[in-house]
Amino acid sequence: MNIRDFSVPQAVKEIIISNDFYFKAIKSGIVNYTALANKIHKDVESLIDSNVNIGTIIVAIKRFSDELYKTDDYLLSINNNKNSNLNYEGNDPKKINFSMSPNDVRMTLTGSIIDINFNNDSMIKDISDIIYDFAKDTFFEYNLIHSAKKMCIFTEDIQESRKIILDLKEKYNGKITEGLSKITLTLSNEDIIFTRKLLYYIFDMINNYKITINNAFFTNREIILILGGSEAAKTYDLLRRKLFRDQK
């Protein structure tokens, strides 16, 4: 990005739009404003060439999110879709009723998940290559997400995976979190509109029940939630009951 005269809201908008990871997280409603503000703090200050308070950046992110929410075309598609199984109560998109068939989504709960985070962007390619080579030759299933400056690896905490995770921690100074669980929702069809609708519902429920979530990521056909062990069991039960509540 070229440095020019920016206000804080303009700088925040420029940074988010130019980063696909941030932009998708905002559109899907899964971003933590405070965490994102801390991530982009230095970039914002670089663009405006001045010190900026974190609170100011949080407000700018929230305003950009609200603006995006109001103008996003896919919300219009949801409201105009007569066959949609996501219904809004009145005109409030936060009050939603959702019911679906078990044929629409398969949900699984996996315990004993270990998570390792790396914050050195210069090592991301090396770590990716090591993980890929290790997975080719051993039974090692994992989920990997990364932005330009951060990488997270989630895998089941078994002997083979723990060995490579500990090796990576020592070599690349990774931060490990243990005792996690993973909820995986696998959708029957590759429909990003439906996935986004489901994401809105899930995170609305998580907020209402004050559930703490460690991480979340998604593709067109899969949503993965990473939570603490006790929170995961509670969330899995809530999702199972609420998503399929109208099914006999």
pLDDT at 78 over 50: no
For 100-248, the fitting CATH number among 3.30.200.20, 3.30.465.10, 3.30.2130.10, 3.40.50.1100 is 3.30.2130.10
The verdict on pTM exceeding 0.95 is no
Cβ atoms of 208 and 188 within 8 Å: the answer is: no
Sheet with strand 215-218: strands edge to edge: 142-146, 151-156, 105-118, 175-187, 222-228, 215-218
Query: Measured between alpha carbons, how far is 124 from 131 in angstroms, rounded to an integer?
Result: 11
| Closest C-alpha among 217, 222, 216, 225 to residue 194 | 222
Cβ atoms of 238 and 217 within 8 Å: the answer is: no
Mean confidence (pLDDT) of the chain? 77
More confident residue, 83 or 26: 26
Extract the tokens encoding 8.
């804080």
pLDDT above 90 coverage of the chain, percent: 4
Give per-residue pLDDT as tens, 152-211.
888 888 887 888 899 999 988 899 999 899 999 988 887 777 787 888 888 888 888 888
Residue ranges per structural domain of the chain: 8-71, 100-248
Give per-residue pLDDT as tens, 213-248.
888 888 778 888 999 878 888 899 888 888 876 444
pLDDT at 84 over 70: no
